[in-house]
Amino acid sequence: MNDKQKEELRNKIKTEIKSLTKQVKEMEETVDPVKPDAAIGRLSRLDTMLNQGINKSSIAQSRQRILNLEDALNRLEKDSFFGECEECGEDIPLARLLTLPESRYCVYCAEHLEE
Ligand SMILES: [Zn+2]
């Protein structure tokens, strides 16, 4: 992977982390239980409770994704093997890395390994 590709990937990961962090923050505000009840009626409170279940797992998922991306960013900076498949050693195509920067395997190995 050359420097230009690295730079492209670095920017992509940073942008992704930023937007996910923003999403998590917004979701956390939605599930915030200290909101005054008076502002919302009984029905919408039920709605909120249902949404909270969904949002809590979304938050957990997004948080995990942020950690994975930060790990990828860290490896991109420090690991000279970054971008190579950990299974077969082939270069992971840049297009795949841009879509899924945290992927450690090429498409072939990812399909044949249980992650
Ligand atoms: Zn592979």
Residues 17-52 have pLDDT tens digits of 999 999 999 988 877 665 555 555 666 766 776 777
Q: Is residue 112 part of a domain?
A: no
Residue 16, pLDDT score = 96
How many distinct structural domains can be found in the chain? Answer: 1
**Residue 35 C-alpha to ligand 1 middle, in angstroms?**
49
**Residue 89 C-alpha to ligand 1 middle, in angstroms?**
6
**Residue 57 C-alpha to ligand 1 middle, in angstroms?**
31
Q: In whole angstroms, what is the distance from residue 68 CA to residue 62 CA? A: 10
Note the pLDDT tens digit of each residue in 55-67: 888 999 999 999 9
Q: Is residue 68 part of a domain?
A: yes
Q: Is residue 110 part of a domain?
A: no
- Residues of the domain holding 50: 3-82
Q: In whole angstroms, what is the distance from residue 1 CA to residue 95 CA? A: 12
Residue 91 pairs in a beta bridge with: 84
Q: What percent of the chain has pLDDT over 90?
A: 65
Report the residue count for the chain: 115
